[in-house]
Amino acid sequence: MPEGNIIHRLARVHHRWLVGRQFSADSPQGRFTQDARRLSGRTLVGVEAHGKHLFHHFEGGVHLHLHLGLVGNIRHFRCAGPPPSTACRLRLASPHATLHLSGPQRCELLSPEAEADLRARLGEDPLRPEASPSRAFEALRRGLAPLATVLLDQTRISGVGNILRAEALFLARLPPQLPAAELRPDDFERLWTALRELLEDAARDGRIVTPHAPPNALTLPGRRREDRFCVYDRVGQPCPRCATPITRLSLSGRGLFFCSRCQAHRRGRR
């Protein structure tokens, strides 16, 4: 599933490239036909990202909400574009820019009020300028679940996925299984800074490169070689700090990668 950096990158690209253009809209797949008619002929006036959610604001107060989920994909064309596939949920077309959306988890039209209600239920997004670190800190500390678990709760911090939680916890030298209620202010400050910097760099560059990640972090066929991680998906490989083999555990059905030495859970952290 795309993490917040990808969605913010899409929002920035769409803001530069698409805002101010008038689009025709249709649903080749047929599942969005009625709402596509409402969009057709409208001008895009703004684009925003909040965590893993993307919002396109069209004239007349019509807002398009997208959540790509696990298999969603947006294809971009600097022209009218080729014929869409039969899986295309929504096509936004103009003579100079066209989007084909397929496989989204959510594709819906919202009123401005409905969008505001949805975003009020989301956690703080480290990439948004109005994000409140203090609210994020208090949200993370609710309950006794492990810190690695609550980091994936989008109602606490928005935009963090499995890769970002692993790399940010490593950079902050925090044990993934630390009870979130035991998180101290100085721990959180390191974690928030790591998340914000990883997200910002990845949104700008289009790839996640963790500071101090080894150049050969991903060398297996089929992997994204431009991404470079310190711990994520590097089980058994040496930690960049201490050379301890990276550990993998299963937590809430997701792979959890960390250094058992650098990120050791020590009691009495309150």
CATH of domain 4-121: 3.20.190.10
146's CB contacts (< 8 A; 6+ apart) are 176, 177, 178, 179, 180, 251
- In angstroms, the CA 127 to CA 125 distance is 5
In this predicted model, what pLDDT tens digit does every residue of 84-110 receive, in sequence order?
Answer: 999 999 999 998 899 999 999 999 999
Q: Which residues of the chain have pLDDT under 70?
A: 215-227, 266-270
pLDDT at 253: 84
pLDDT at 14: 96
pTM (global) more than 0.85: yes
pLDDT at 217: 43
Catalytic positions: 2-3, 52, 254
Show me where the domains of the chain are located.
4-121, 133-259
CATH topology of domain 133-259: Helicase, Ruva Protein; domain 3 (1.10.8)
Q: Which of 138, 116, 136, 118 is nearest to 126 (CA)?
A: 136
Contact 99, 76 (CB under 8 A): yes
- Asked, colleague to colleague, whether 4-121 and 133-259 share their fold, the answer is no
